[in-house]
A = this chain, B = another copy of it.
């Protein structure tokens, strides 16, 4: 009975949620795109194993979040392998460097239904189910914790935050209501600074509030 962790590394690119798939270097499904995963070592916590997988495949060291275990008897043809699913959120820019033919960003919509590239074959194992469960978890978690801020850089504008919410939820969000809700939630702390790169009126930059006020 072996235990692995599978990492669902998510990012927002072109206003759509994408998942990082990597080409398998081992049988089965050798050469196919799949979720990166590692076997859990005997002296390693599950979270540490997930972070190790993310570091190895995406080159970043970020917080991870467990969302479910997958253990159907025949999910892996080799042997009985139980996998714990983890989500890792990364800013798209930080992922761009590692992308190549073996490391591809695929829209979650496509990954869940069809295959990894184009309308190709479906993902191996139960990876499509795992991605679907991860997406569902993240959508529910958007408003209940601060984990989802991992999809943004340290400082961000409210517009960018709204875009992230829209990408994860898959639908438009009402601007005034969104701004009021987030600003009143106490999760955001305004830096004095403004967004410099824009071509028009610069937006206020915010960061995640440090847990201070009581």
Contact = CB atoms under 8 A, between A and B. Distances in A.
A69 B84 contact: yes
Nearest to A46: B71
Interface centre among A1, A2, A43 (most CB of B within 10 A): A1
A45 B144 CA distance: 31
A75 B121 CA distance: 41
Q: Secondary structure of the A side of the interface?
A: loop
B73 A1 contact: no
Contacts of A82: 3, 40, 46, 82, 84
A66 B83 CA distance: 13
Interface in A69-119: 69, 71-73, 80, 82, 84
Closest 10 pairs between A and B when the two form their complex, measured CB to CB: A46-B71, A69-B69, A69-B84, A42-B80, A1-B3, A3-B82, A45-B73, A45-B72, A43-B73, A66-B69
A68 interface: yes
Contacts of A84: 69, 71, 82
Interface centre among A44, A45, A46, A71 (most CB of B within 10 A): A71
Interface in A136-185: 140, 144
A132 to B, nearest CB: 15
Nearest to A48: B73
Contacts of A2: 1
A42 B72 CA distance: 10
A69 B46 contact: yes
Interface string A1-45: 111000000000000000000000000000000000000101111
A3 B83 CA distance: 11
A116 to B, nearest CB: 26
